[in-house]
Structure 1
């Protein structure tokens, strides 16, 4: 299936401390094994067969690099969700959305996201199970969501399959606005689902499907076949873990 891809690479307010520690002008320009994070991500998207690749960025050096890599430079919004909404209007659907700090991103993960999202779904969300993550990178520190079927971590990989997925972006905006009022976020699941979650009966797939339907879309979980899909670059230890992994990787 032909699809486009979006890389979120906006500038963090006040700058990114990790970029400063690495001596880079922007997080997307941090290098691993001689290649910037942005180059690694765009290269994987090309390998997955993305027809168009847009990079949402506002830093001059990132914009320059994006053009050199053959990607389209798209404007940013006030936050990731607004940037995604702008790109949605430009690139349309189907659209894969990821981030510039996805250092280990592989084309096969993107292909899996697209192919494993059911044909009747509007949105596919990739997450990795804790067991799969730790099997590939023991000791890595991730943020986990605990459900009846175990602990899961997000992969920063989303598939907006149909025009109706625009509703998911609108909800994303609301979640960003309510990030300091978590009770408003969890309320979106509805009382019955919240009770199931509290009692340890709600699986992640059920939670995603329930939330999607409350938003007016069909959303589905795509379990990452490779747990490394959940490993991005948020802190110095992440960089150390990724560099160590690549140094040990055969070939």
Structure 2
């Protein structure tokens, strides 16, 4: 089965403090070990052996000049960029981000090999695995009855019904760092289950799918580093050290 991958590499509206900190125009172009984060992500996708087509979404297409990579001009938000790319590539589509500099081919293979039978899926890692891999990292965790999880910047859109989830993403994008606001959208039953410690990750995913009008599931990633992306200077320093250490 032919499978495309989308790498989100654009700059959000306004200034990019991390890019400024690193002395480049785009976070995706920050070098780590002499190789830009964008190049690292593209290489991991290629080396996974599971991706036939790689598309980069960036607001300045002339900056993404990687051989064999298609380039689309990004929209004003991540979700809008995904929606436009999904229309262009069709399904299925793997989505990740250019700041996922630690991405490894094995992680891509594990994610794709363990996809649930749902329209859309997301990769998440348990907090204990993340902290064991990098005790100093500070991640945002969603807490459920069966554990606390952090996103791994890996998403899968199986068919065009997954566009419903992209539309819901657009509605809640501003709330991604505010778990309680996201929880409120799940409804009173989910809130009560959360307060009483009964809301599981699977139940939450099913509820999100129902809200969107499609089916949704998760892939638990056994790799703690898969939850580490580069959002701030501390992340960049950590990721550079981890890569130097091998």
Q: Classify the TM-score, shorter chain.
A: over 0.9
Q: Does the CA-based 8 Å contact 2:18-2:27 persist in structure 1?
A: yes
Q: Does the CA-based 8 Å contact 2:12-2:76 persist in structure 1?
A: no
Q: Does the CA-based 8 Å contact 1:122-1:217 persist in structure 2?
A: yes
Partner of 2:100: 102
SS at structure 1 position matched to 2:118: coil
Instruction: Kindly state the Cα deviation for residue 12 of structure 1 after the two structures are TM-superposed.
Output: 2.3
Sort the Cα spacing of 1:50 and 1:179 in 2 relative to 1 into closer, same or farther, 3 A: closer
Partner of 1:50: 51
Q: Once structures 1 and 2 are overlaid, which stretch shifts more, 107-116 or 77-86?
A: 107-116
SS at structure 1 position matched to 2:222: coil
Q: Does the CA-based 8 Å contact 2:141-2:149 persist in structure 1?
A: yes
Instruction: Kindly state the Cα deviation for residue 183 of structure 1 after the two structures are TM-superposed.
Output: 6.9
Partner of 2:128: 131
Sort the Cα spacing of 1:40 and 1:181 in 2 relative to 1 into closer, same or farther, 3 A: closer
Sort the Cα spacing of 1:237 and 1:177 in 2 relative to 1 into closer, same or farther, 3 A: closer
| RMSD of equivalent CA atoms | 1.9
Give a deviation string over 1:60-81, Cα, whole Å, max 9, x none.
Answer: xxx3353333211112112111
What is the aligned residue count?
245
The separation in 2 between residues aligned to 1:198 and 1:28, in whole angstroms, is 39
Partner of 2:10: 10
The separation in 1 between residues aligned to 2:182 and 2:127, in whole angstroms, is 23
SS at structure 2 position matched to 1:68: coil
Structure 1 segments unaligned to the other structure (5+ residues): none
TM-score by length of 2: 0.93
The separation in 2 between residues aligned to 1:194 and 1:50, in whole angstroms, is 38
Structure 2 segments unaligned to the other structure (5+ residues): none
